[in-house]
Amino acid sequence: MGTISKLWQLDTLVRASDHLNNSTNEPLHLQNFIENEFLDCAHTTEWIDSLSPRSGDLLLKVPHSPPNVVDYAVNVASRAFPEWSKTTPQERSEILSQVASILEEKKEMFAVWESIDQGKTLTRARSEVDRSIEHFRYFAKYILHDESMVRLNKGPRNSTLTYEYRPPVGVYAITTGSNMPLYLLTSKIAPCLAFGCTGVAKPSELTSMTAFLLGEVLRQANLPPGVMNIVFGNGTDTGSTLVKSPLIQGVSFTGGTETGIQIREDTMADIYKRLTLELRGSSPTIVFGDVDLDEAVSTTAYAAFENSGQLCLSGSRIYIHRSIYKVFLIKFSRHVRKDYRLGKELGPVVSRERYAKIRSQLVQAGEEDAQFEIGGIPDEVPEDGFWVSPTILSNVHPDSSAAKEVIFGPVAIVYPFDTEAEVISLCNDNVNGMGAVVLTDDLSRMRRVGERLDAGLVWADCWLGRELGAGSSDLRATGTGREGGAHSRDMFTRSRIVHVPSY
């Protein structure tokens, strides 16, 4: 029985756990998905060990795809592009809807393996799978109602009818990070297919399982062979080879800043390539003095610690009005201790590397005289998984490394502030803010502050509810380019203006 057939039957937490806990079973070996087929493991000579975040033990063997495999996938996508680009919106919409339906049928399987592979709670994984399904449904509908520009121009000698024609760009490289594996991958694959492009996707080598399962969904949905291919490997070798390919017309990436910089360097000479780089960030939460304290504490904790703080929109920098600072901090610390417990509401961080990075940042914060309100510095060598206790820091100078760097873990930093102008300045001084949360009962302040913050997505008295068409922002250190709704249309299509005589 092949790996994908075996996994398709391990579709509940009990079945998956029984398989993993059986010491007689070999580690699961993933396979590259190219031209609607899973390549035989015999074609893979090197493997990457993917560890379980909860135990630190070996979980999967992931192919370390060499350049010839990447080139094969890109060539397949390039050959598939002419035919796929000619399909009608209705045809593409039907396939996207079929992908969504199959995902819906197997959503518990996807949630279980996303939780196991990434370390997130099953509740969180289910939410992300639901959102991943919605990506395909959203774009299946969007392309049926997309309206292009049409104008009648009357001139002194003749009149013309001007209209916009939007052909697809070509073959895309899609690479994603490890914090929301399926969600991020589907947020890019769905519009890529919807607007007539083909592609090669490479998920993070740390969290490849649901990408592997998605390949089978695409095959069952009768997506034409070669239209979307999935290869596995690390960023340094496999990812770099992929984005450098001369057949790649665009790159859509979400992940760490260092990798984003490397992609820009790898594609520097390819001026024709479109780049969307959504990079890791740390967002502010502002708590004004007029809030309902209990509701504000709950929202603030949710924004800071959901998914163990491994979200680009996590509200990990918390600014509290001085009039309520002391009482808020007491309630906030108590709430986090009670409602964000390791192994229950809070999972481990995704990898040993992420664990070590968070630990080094907390060590440095301690050396800079930060106060640990709750939590502490994890053990130097993790045992039984990559668990980092929820941590709240105070007495952190805004110019310190702890304040400036993106920690990307279950760590929140609290600051007092006095005036609206002051807190806006403090928030905007950090270039890593992708989103922001404004907690106040004053509707005028919600609008006023929200519009002055350097954040692409702002929530007032709530967090994370999001319309898919809103997209993400190309803002300072958090990236370049935008995706979502019309922004995705602009990313995956070219705008051509045609003029014809008007009679």
Residues identified as active-site: 278, 312
- DSSP notation for 181-249: HHHHHHHHHHHHHHTT-EEEEE--TTS-HHHHHHHHHHHHTTPPTTSEEE----IIIIIHHHHH-TTEE
Element (H, E) at 51: strand 47-51
8 Å CB contact between 205 and 91: no
DSSP secondary structure, 64-131, as one string: ---HHHHHHHHHHHHHHHHHHHTS-HHHHHHHHHHHHHHHHHTHHHHHHHHHHHH---HHHHHHHHHH
Q: Which two tokens stand for residue 229?
A: 């291919």
Beta bridge partners of 317: 284, 413
| CA torsion through residues 462, 464, 470, 471, sign | positive
Strand, helix or coil at 317?
Answer: strand
Q: In what order do the strands lie in the sheet with 37-38?
A: 37-38, 33-34, 228-230, 198-202, 171-176, 248-255, 274-279, 479-480
**How many Å apart are CA 390 and CA 147, to the nearest integer?**
47
Query: Half-sphere exposure of residue 131, counting CA atoms within 13 Å on the CB side?
Result: 20
Question: Is there a contact between 483 and 187 (Cβ–Cβ < 8 Å)?
Answer: yes
471/490 Cα distance (integer angstroms)? 12
439 three-class SS: strand
Q: What is d(CA 215, CA 201) in angstroms, rounded to the nearest whole number?
A: 10
Per-residue CA distances from 400 to 289, 365, 366, 372 (Å):
26, 8, 11, 15
Q: Give the integer Cα–Cα distance in Å for 405 and 399.
A: 10
Distance CA 37, CA 364 (A): 48
The answer to whether residues 114 and 125 touch, using CB atoms and an 8 Å cutoff, is yes
Strands 47-51 and 58-63: antiparallel
Neighbours of 111 (CB within 10 A): 25
